[in-house]
Amino acid sequence: QSLIQNDIDLRDTRKNCDKGNLRVKPQQGTAVFWYNYLSDGEGWVGELDDFALHGGCLVTQGTKWIANNWINVDPNRRRQQQFQQEMERFAGSEAG
C-alpha cells in the first residue's frame, strides 16, 4: 500500500517515472547496482526487499543503451554455505 500514494501507483514505473524516490541521471561509463534482498543480519541473503522496486524511464532524447548483469544468490542459507565451501575448495585446488 505504501507504493500507492494520492491515487498514484508508483509500481507503474514507466507511467510514473518522474515520481520515484530515486532517479539516476545517466552518465557514460557508469553503472547502478542494488540488492533485491535484505541481509539476514549474519551476512547471508534474507527476505525479498519490497522496496527494491525499480524500472526505467522512457527515452525523451537520444538513444537508451542498457546492459543487465544478474547475480543470482540461492536464498537457502544451507545451500549458500555449501556453495561457498565448494568455491573455497575449488580456489584451493586452482592454487595448488
* Domain span at 45: 27-95
Residue 10 lies inside a defined structural domain of this protein: no
pLDDT in tens, 28-72: 888 888 888 888 887 777 888 888 888 888 888 888 888 888 887
1 occurs within a structural domain? no
List the one residue out of 35, 55, 53 whose CA is nearest residue 45: 35
Q: Please state, in angstroms and rounded to a whole number, the distance separating the CA atoms of residues 96 and 84.
A: 19
Task: Tell me if 21 is assigned to some domain.
Answer: no
Q: 15 CB contacts (<8 Å, ≥6 apart)?
A: 9
Residue 17: inside a domain, yes or no? no
* pTM, two decimal places: 0.56
Residue 4 counted as domain residue: no
Please tell me the total count of domains within the chain.
1
Q: Which three cell numbers stand for residue 30?
A: 557508469
Is 2 part of a structural domain of the chain? no
